[in-house]
């Protein structure tokens, strides 16, 4: 039984260390400097949006890169639905006029219910068979504990984050794309912070040069 408890604790530790980032593509295949970046999370949930945008902006600020949450930018950006080419060009020009040369945009791609079966397992412990006054043993006998299969259900959120170079023409300004999967976030503050850290590190490694 003790072995089973230890294994379960270890599994929980590993699951806590799992990452949200599942896939990336450095479209431009270059690493550039950015003087002022807009951080945008397209979400109707203003609390989640504000937390995530500020977490990511703080990440870049700590590395010498000026980043502003869109919620503080004063620029009106649609929070849902498709954005037309004309709308995108208007927003891009507004951002350029405000001094932004980069934008990091995060969209919710899909939300789905999931079910996963965790296979059961058997753990065998061996206990000594005692005899005699001084409890000397002559052999061990096995005691097997069976753990049944477990059904886990929850909600899976698939998100996509993209980096745009606003100095480039609209059709050629996509620089980087990352796909993230978040399952059953318990505390929104921790989830947004973890997402922001993983996104920021991935961008710094492949597409954004550190500030001075």
Whether residue 66 contacts residue 103, with contact meaning beta carbons closer than 8 Å, is answered with no
Give percent of the chain with pLDDT exceeding 90: 51
Strands 36-42 and 66-69: parallel
Separation of alpha carbons 127 and 140, rounded Å = 5
Mean of all residue pLDDT scores within the chain: 82
pLDDT tens sequence across 16-30 = 447 999 999 999 999
**CA 51 to centroid of chain Cα atoms:** 14
CA distances from residue 113 to 18, 116, 118, 158 in whole angstroms, order as listed: 19, 10, 17, 11
Where do the structural domains in the chain lie, given as residue ranges?
19-116+151-206, 120-148
Determine the 3-state secondary structure of 85 from DSSP. helix
pTM, full prediction: 0.74
211 pLDDT higher than 80: no
Query: Residue 155 pLDDT > 60, yes or no?
Result: yes
Pick the CATH number of 19-116+151-206 from 3.30.530, 3.40.640, 3.30.160, 3.40.50: 3.30.160
Measured CA to CA, the distance from residue 106 to residue 158 in angstroms comes to: 11
Confidence band of 3 (pLDDT split at 50, 70, 90): very low
Instruction: Quote the distance between the C-alpha of residue 119 and its chain's center.
Output: 26
Write the pLDDT tens digit of every residue in 100-134.
999 999 999 988 887 776 777 777 776 666 555 55
Percent of the chain with pLDDT over 70: 80
Write down the residue that tokens 């050629």 correspond to: 172
Orientation angle between helical segments 188-206 and 46-61, nearest 10 degrees: 40
Confidence of residue 161 (pLDDT cuts 50, 70, 90): very high
């Amino acid at each position: 039984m003790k072995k089973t408890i230890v294994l379960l604790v270890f599994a929980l530790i590993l699951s806590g260390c799992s990452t949200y980032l599942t896939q990336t593509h450095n479209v431009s295949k270059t690493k550039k400097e950015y003087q002022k970046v807009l951080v945008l999370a397209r979400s109707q949930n203003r609390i989640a949006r504000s937390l995530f945008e500020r977490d990511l902006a703080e990440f870049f600020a700590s590395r010498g890169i000026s980043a502003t949450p869109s919620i503080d930018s004063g620029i009106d950006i649609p929070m849902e639905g498709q954005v037309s080419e004309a709308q995108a060009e208007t927003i891009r020009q507004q951002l350029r006029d405000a001094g932004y040369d980069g934008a990091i945009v995060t969209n919710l791609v899909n939300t789905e219910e999931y079910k996963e079966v965790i296979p059961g397992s058997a753990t065998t412990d061996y206990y000594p068979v005692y005899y005699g006054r001084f409890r000397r043993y002559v052999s061990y006998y096995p005691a097997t504990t069976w753990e049944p299969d477990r059904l886990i259900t929850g909600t899976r959120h698939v998100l996509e984050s993209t980096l745009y170079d606003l100095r480039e023409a609209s059709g050629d300004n996509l620089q980087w794309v990352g796909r993230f999967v978040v399952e059953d976030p318990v505390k929104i503050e921790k989830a947004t912070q973890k997402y922001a850290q993983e996104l920021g590190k991935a961008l710094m490694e492949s597409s954004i040069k550190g500030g001075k």
